[in-house]
């Protein structure tokens, strides 16, 4: 469903992605691991449509259509969801309000009618229950004063509600305690489906213990330098990036 072809990306004239190629198939969970600064978050931002990045070459295809030309909100409506490494605070806007606005904006873009308030409430309650999020939190302004772990959990709750085609998870495991990690991973697993793909960015094997990847990519200096099975992540955990990164240099 997702094909990234020969992607070159710069920011302020500095090259960050350097001819990156990547495919995520329907139903697949692909993990990306790689040293700090290798460009993982950049990749997820470029797929989602953040504007400060300049794509100098290459394509990002979603179901065969190049999405680089369309706005972030249009990509969202087509089913691209990014769980942010650093979720953003929106003061004064109740989480519930934000979720409803997002969901209905996407529905509208797809030509569906707004969800009625009771239907919406039912969906939110179910999502909150499955991620063990206290419903009171939905009344608070989005992410304001949320702990690091609460923010991450809320990202996954949003994903569950928006039911994307492709979920990009950028270090969703960082900041989660042991129990939260299991809850969030279960939440992701529950969303695994034949018509949905995931790109899971992480530094640690422990997340992949819960979310079993179909494929693991190693990224360095803006490229995928090795692709393998779940075994690859276990190897990395033992030996670090030394062997691979040296190759790429």
Partner 1 sequence: MAAVQETVDHVKSLDVTEYKYGFVSNIESEKSPKGLSEETVRFISAKKNEPAWLTEWRLDAYRRWLTMPSPDWSRVNHPPIDYQDLYYYSAPKSTPGPKSIDDVDPELLRVYEKLGIPLREQELLAGVQTSKVAVDAVFDSVSVATTFKTELAKFGVIFCSFSEAVHNHPELVKKYLGSVVPVTDNYFATLNSAVFSDGSFVYIPPGVRCPMELSTYFRINEPNTGQFERTLIVADKGAYVSYLEGCTAPKRDENQLHAAVVELVALEDAEIKYSTVQNWYPGDADGKGGIYNFVTKRGDCREDNAKISWTQVETGSAITWKYPSCILRGDNSRGEFYSIAISNGKQQVDSGTKMVHLGKNTTSRIISKGIAAGRSDNTYRGLVSAHRKATNARNFTNCDSLLIGEHCGAHTVPYIEAKTATAVFEHEATTSKISEDQLFYCRQRGLSGEEATALIVNGFVRDVLQQLPMEFAVEAQKLIAISLEGSVG
Ligand X SMILES: Nc1ncnc2c1ncn2[C@@H]1O[C@H](COP(=O)(O)OP(=O)(O)OP(=O)(O)O)[C@@H](O)[C@H]1O
82 lies in the site for partner 1, by CB under 8 A: yes
Cα-only R_g, the chain: 18
Is 177:183 a contact under the CB 8 Å cutoff?
no
The reply to whether 172 sits near Mg ion by the rule CB under 5 A is no
Cβ contacts of residue 102 below 8 Å, gap of 6+? 76, 158, 162
State the binding partner of 102 from partner 1, Mg ion, ligand X, none, CB within 5 to 8 A by kind. partner 1
**Burial label, 7 (beta-carbon count in 10 A; 0-12, 13-18, 19+):** buried
Please choose which of ligand X, Mg ion, partner 1, none residue 100 contacts, taking the beta carbon within 5 to 8 angstroms, the exact cut-off set by kind. partner 1
Closest by CA position to 39, among listed 60, 10, 12, 66: 10
165 lines the binding site for partner 1 (CB under 8 A): no
Query: Which residues are CB-neighbours of 220 under 8 A, at least 6 positions away?
Result: 34, 35, 38, 241, 244, 245, 248
Options 90, 191, 230, 245; binder of partner 1; rule CB under 8 A: 90
Q: Which of 93, 230, 245, 248 binds partner 1 (CB under 8 A)?
A: 93
Among 38, 41, 202, 220, binds Mg ion (CB under 5 A): 41
Of residues 36 and 51, the one with the C-beta less far from partner 1: 51
Task: Find the binder of partner 1 among 12, 13, 36, 51 (CB under 8 A).
Answer: 51
Interacting residues with partner 1 (CB under 8 A): 48-52, 71-73, 76-77, 80-82, 84, 87-94, 97-98, 100-106, 108-109, 114, 117, 141, 158, 162
């Amino acid at each position: 469903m997702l094909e990234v072809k020969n992607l070159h990306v710069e920011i302020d004239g500095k090259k960050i992605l350097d001819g990156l190629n990547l495919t995520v198939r329907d139903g697949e969970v692909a993990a990306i691991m790689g040293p700090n600064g290798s460009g993982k978050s950049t990749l997820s931002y470029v797929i989602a449509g953040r504007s400060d990045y300049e794509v100098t070459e290459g394509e990002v295809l979603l179901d065969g259509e190049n999405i680089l030309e369309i706005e972030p909100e249009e990509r969202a409506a087509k089913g691209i969801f990014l769980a942010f490494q650093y979720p953003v605070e929106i003061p004064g806007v109740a989480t519930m309000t934000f979720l409803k606005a997002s969901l209905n904006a996407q529905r509208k873009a797809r030509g569906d009618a707004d969800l009625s308030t009771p239907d919406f409430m039912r969906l939110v309650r179910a999502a909150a229950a499955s991620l063990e999020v206290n419903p009171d939190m939905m009344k608070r302004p989005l992410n304001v004063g949320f702990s690091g772990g609460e923010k991450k959990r809320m990202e996954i709750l949003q994903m569950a509600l928006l039911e994307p085609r492709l979920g990009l998870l950028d270090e969703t495991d960082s900041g989660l305690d042991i129990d939260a990690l299991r809850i969030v991973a279960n939440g992701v697993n529950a969303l695994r489906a034949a018509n949905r793909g995931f790109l899971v960015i992480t530094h640690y094997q422990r997340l992949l213990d819960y979310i079993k990847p179909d494929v693991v990519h190693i990224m360095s200096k803006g490229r995928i330098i090795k692709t393998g099975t779940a075994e690859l992540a276990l190897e990395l955990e033992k030996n670090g990036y030394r062997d691979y990164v040296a190759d790429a240099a």
